[in-house]
Structure 1
Amino acid sequence: MPDGQALSKAYEIAEMIAENGPLAIEAILKTLHETSGMTEKEALVFEYDYGWAVLRVKMRRKDQKLFHKSVNRISNVNSSKFFID
């Protein structure tokens, strides 16, 4: 890295990390601490479990939001129009 650019690069990386939720940040920190001294290949295998755990939570939350939107959409339909007098 060129002289004088480390701080701006650190801020750039910090912004990328901050865009993630607390679970993602926790996974990043665990990975950094627990993979210290490992080769890149070993660390990637180890990190895989943490990454998928975070993605599963995100997918569950997305599914819940979609479900609630569908329920709200259905409940807003005027059901009386389906009945014949």
Structure 2
Amino acid sequence: MGVSAEITSIKPGDDLHICPACGYEYGFHTSFIRLNAPKDGKTSAVKSTRDLYRVILICPECGARFDAGWRVSFSDEESHVVLAATFLH
């Protein structure tokens, strides 16, 4: 089955390994989508000092994609996980 174009927001509980769409129980693949990435694929003339990426979970069984609100920044020196504002209380 192909990967879904739609990305559904989910809130992780104590354990996030079961696909809410099809019930697959063995976890997810991950992909990264750069925040503020241009939709036409062209690069911006102004480069951000810190690119942030959305961590997207992909069900290997049904192809459904999910955004749990996790953000990550990659650099040459080290990677940093960034807490998404949507989960701050």
Whether these two folds match at TM > 0.5 is no
Q: What TM bracket, shorter-length normalisation?
A: under 0.3
Q: What's the TM-score, normalizing by structure 1?
A: 0.20
Structure whose residues are more often strand by fraction: 2
Of structures 1 and 2, the one with the larger relative CO (CA 8 A, separation 6+) is 2
Q: What's the TM-score, normalizing by structure 2?
A: 0.20
